[in-house]
Amino acid sequence: MSTLVQETVSHDLVSKVKYTAKDFSSDQDVRWCPGCGDYSILAQVQRTMPDLNIPKEKVVFISGIGCSSRFPYYMETYGFHSIHGRATAIASGLKIARPDLSVWVVTGDGDGLSIGGNHMIHLLRRNVDLNVLLFNNQIYGLTKGQYSPTSEFGKVTKSTPYGSVDMPFNPASLALGSGGTFVARSMDRDPKHLQGIVKRAAEHKGTSFVEIYQNCNVFNDGAFFQFTEKETKPDSVVFLEHGKPLVFGKENDKGIKLDGFSPVVVSLKDGTHSVNDLLVHNEKDSTLAFILANMTYNHELPRPFGIFLSIDRPRYEDEIEKQIDSAISKRGKGSLEKLLNSGDTWVIQ
């Protein structure tokens, strides 16, 4: 860190102030459509921030373009509402330059997976210590209703009146395939779960990728109701918890078992299987993470939510700092005098 930056910024790692959610609410009017799932996500993030004990001035929210990307305006932290798809790249530059900051990326399925797809996969393989909150509503909201890279095959939208012929991405599988070290899924309508996941993402060292199912009540209302509403949720959702068997169902009467490499649903009440037969989640197991993420578009199986993977791997910015430290210890801190006199020189008298 340059001397000028050092003299300017605070060096507190832990906040001296005990914040409340309100401290993270900016003075700007929130301008999402009434009933949008974004409101809940904003509230859960604001509620979680005080628990992180990070000095507020060290927190930066960076977004691209789309409904979700208005997010930074509503957070009383540093914020940057940038251009379409590039939030991940801007955030990478900021974090590499300033490892002392807690940097968050807020993006959507269009911003993060379509126009910004390239930056996203490279961020994940580099494992820069950023927290990515990807609001997935399976539609383009800000441009008023075109299909997105997560819209289901056959989706009828303004730009696909005869149905989409694109296969959708499964964001969790994409993140795992890109070398993500923290991959999770949550939803706007389960505040407690979302708060827990956001907190874990913040604590993870390396890129945290959190896909959040978010309802767009104007252009894609009810896309996730099967997983979010209390009538259908218990039988359609399985929550992943480290060290615990995969049990689900209204009466906790069903479970997931591995048949070879394939997850299958078994009954816990017909006497054929007990909890001991079930798959036990291990968030450190990357092979398992792939299997679980692949349950996503299998309609015979419940949709998994929770943390697919959380493993440790060196962070890009730490490795850069190490190289700098090593170069300084070997060659000494560079000086302009040395710099300008480097190379083959000669003197004219």
Partner 1 sequence: MEKETRVLDEVTIRFAGDSGDGMQLTGGQFTNTSAAMGNDLSTLPDYPAEIRAPRDTTYGVSGFQIHFGATEINTPGDHCDVLVAMNAASLKVNLRSLIDGGIIIVNTDGFADKNLKLAGYTQSPLSDGSLSKYQVFQVDITKLTNLALADLQLSQKIVDKTKNFFALGMMYWMFNRTLDNTIQWIKDKFKEKPELIEANTRVMKAGWNYAETTDIFAVKYEVKPAPLAPGKYRNISGNQATALGFVTAAEKAKLDLFLGSYPITPASDILHELSMFKNYGVKTFQAEDEIAGITSAIGASFGGSLAITTTSGPGVALKTEAIGLAVMVELPLIIVNVQRGGPSTGLPTKTEQADLLQAVYGRNGEAPVPVIAAMTPSDCFNTAVESSRIALKYMTPVMMLTDGYLANGSEPWLLPSVNDIPEIAPKFRTDPDGYMPYRRDEITLSREWAIPGTPGLEHRIGGLEKQDVTGNVNYEPENHDRMIRLRAEKIERIANDIPLAMVEGDEKGDLLVVGWGGTYGTIKTAVERKRKEGKSVSHLHLKYIHPLQKNVGEILYNFKYILVPEINMGQLIKILRSKFLVPAIGLNKVMGLPYRSNDIELKIDEILGGKQ
Under rule CB under 8 A, residue 13 binds partner 1: no
Q: CA 109, CA 66: separation in Å to the nearest integer?
A: 9
Under rule CB under 8 A, residue 315 binds partner 1: no
Under rule CB under 8 A, residue 324 binds partner 1: yes
Answer whether 151's CB lies under 8 Å from 166's CB: yes
Where in 174-233 is the site for partner 1 (CB under 8 A)?
none
Closest CB 319 distance from partner 1, rounded Å: 11
CA-nearest of 309, 333, 161, 321 to 242 is 309
Closest CB 36 distance from partner 1, rounded Å: 18
User: What is the full DSSP assignment across 255-270?
Assistant: EEEEETTEEEEEESSS
Query: Could you identify the residue written with the tokens 């269009």?
Result: 110
Under rule CB under 8 A, residue 79 binds partner 1: yes
Quick count: other Cβ atoms within 10 Å of Cβ 122? 15
Question: What Cα–Cα distance (Å) separates residue 38 from each residue in 45, 108, 130, 134?
Answer: 11, 11, 20, 11
Q: How many residues bind partner 1 (CB under 8 A)?
A: 70
Residue with Cβ nearer partner 1 (61 or 308): 61
**Candidate segments 60-68, 205-213, 227-235, 288-296, binder of partner 1 by CB under 8 A:** 60-68
Residue with Cβ nearer partner 1 (56 or 189): 56
Question: Cα-flanking dihedrals φ and ψ of residue 346, to 5°?
Answer: -145, 160
Residue with Cβ nearer partner 1 (71 or 227): 71
Amino acid found at 180: G
Closest CB 161 distance from partner 1, rounded Å: 30
Answer whether 310's CB lies under 8 Å from 182's CB: yes
Closest CB 56 distance from partner 1, rounded Å: 6
Q: Quick one: tokens of 293?
A: 């993420």
The single residue among 45, 49, 67, 89 that binds partner 1, judged by CB under 8 A, is: 89
Please enumerate in sequence order all residues whose Cβ is within 8 A of that of 247, keeping only pairs 6 or more positions apart, or say none: 238, 254, 255, 268, 275, 278
Residue with Cβ nearer partner 1 (93 or 154): 93
Q: Quick one: tokens of 130?
A: 């950023």
Residue with Cβ nearer partner 1 (299 or 331): 331
Under rule CB under 8 A, residue 339 binds partner 1: yes
List residues near partner 1 by CB under 8 A: 1-5, 8-10, 26, 28, 55-60, 62, 65, 72-73, 75-83, 86, 89-98, 100-101, 118-119, 122, 320, 323-324, 326-328, 330-337, 339-349
